Structure 1
């Protein structure tokens, strides 16, 4: 075991007669043990790529005072940002299935984890899973991503005239809308990011013929 790391000890069906029992062991070199009962027993987290989305599915075998699940995504497997949440059952002793759909995954490899949040605010991360998805035809390109000041949007050739652009936060709320004058043949658009809080967002582009595929980005 590595120094500074956290480990979880599972004890299952230790007693053969159903009676209470004591466990004892010795810890050394500064190690400590927190005997907190986990609020959620989560298993089978998987990420499945579809044509233009990634489906996240998981199962809980039991729940005790669980509040909700936070779904997080990363492009490097280390730095995660929240992309949504789902209410938990609260208390359950049966298997329950959950699903979250990432409607705007990054092109390439996406890493995911689910944070289980108890009603007292305590949190526990799931193992990390990953899924890859290719760049979709007609999808705008964003640079830089993550962005701090100005975001450059590059349109695919033949894209219809853009009328407006929405910025949508992780809770699904439209937090900013850019209304654009109609201009034929526009290939790129620069958007100021001033006043936008740090976090994960989705950029949704509207054209005269309908919306384009949403694109995720991170505001630093």
Structure 2
């Protein structure tokens, strides 16, 4: 078996709410920069273009679409109750920051995220049909609360999400909010308060991790989760109400005094990168160790969700040595192509790698080589990095928790990132995202 971060068993099911397609901010939308109040109606399409930072005081939404391909900082957001269908669509290279007093997402409003969403404000899903679908990084400050307060409101997590407190309730009496966790996703919260049964469900694509470190309050519900694919990590500092949760967890698999749902997340897949060449795309990856690994299936997608197999590459079997692999996509999709590895063991078990993306017209290979680390600084080198205008850098713990997010302007060979003192010694994963969606995730060890 190949040990790699974010590997999940193969299956076809998914959460009820799907990510929206990658937004097109190049044409067909009204650009936004800095504005005090933005009102969006049912036929309106506004956008924050790539490379642009927009600061917005308040958004009032009654239908329409808001596309984010650059950076959007929003103090307050209100979608009208019983509004016409409205969408927030954050692209792979997009960043959305909620920094005001509160975010109220009312009926029939969908927030779809392929990039990064951060919030220092409380977020409330109100009324029927409100939904957030996360396929990137979704980080709320530890002091904030995420409230699911409406009939059939939902949060679907396909990647990484972190909350201060989750409060799932039903003010209407005839519906319930639901959290759907896709296979391989990680969801962390300090506290949670669940009023309805079976609030947490699985997509059925494989084990999903839900961990908490504070108080888990079941409000006398009979069942927290309706799937054996939900893995719970009750950390050493965590407590539950009642103290002996027992059957209140439902079908979830529970671990206590843990740091992650399945032990330390292995990261022996040390590189997976894409590069345009001629009319095709060149794919390269590297492993540090493998166990009973038969082959890699190279898969491609046009939307980052539905994948088809391109080719197979034989694996090394069992090895503790470094191995490099290569495959070519001679007929890539127009626009952005998404790729992942489906690693197959000798016993037929299949697992996925993380997804990477590349846009046609990107001529450089995003190649990052870690140089050194000290107590509070990560220093790294970049190669073929010069033509990228901006890049986001995220650092994750071995169990998938985001501990750092910042920006760099890649116009030099060496970079120093000053990391928080809260980063304990251990293994970390770095992810770099450019404005055209390329990704890289090398590992490093902080001493």
TM-score, normalised by the number of residues in structure 1:
0.47
Higher relative contact order, structure no. (Cα contacts within 8 Å, ≥ 6 residues apart) = 1
Choose between structure 1 and 2: higher strand proportion: 2
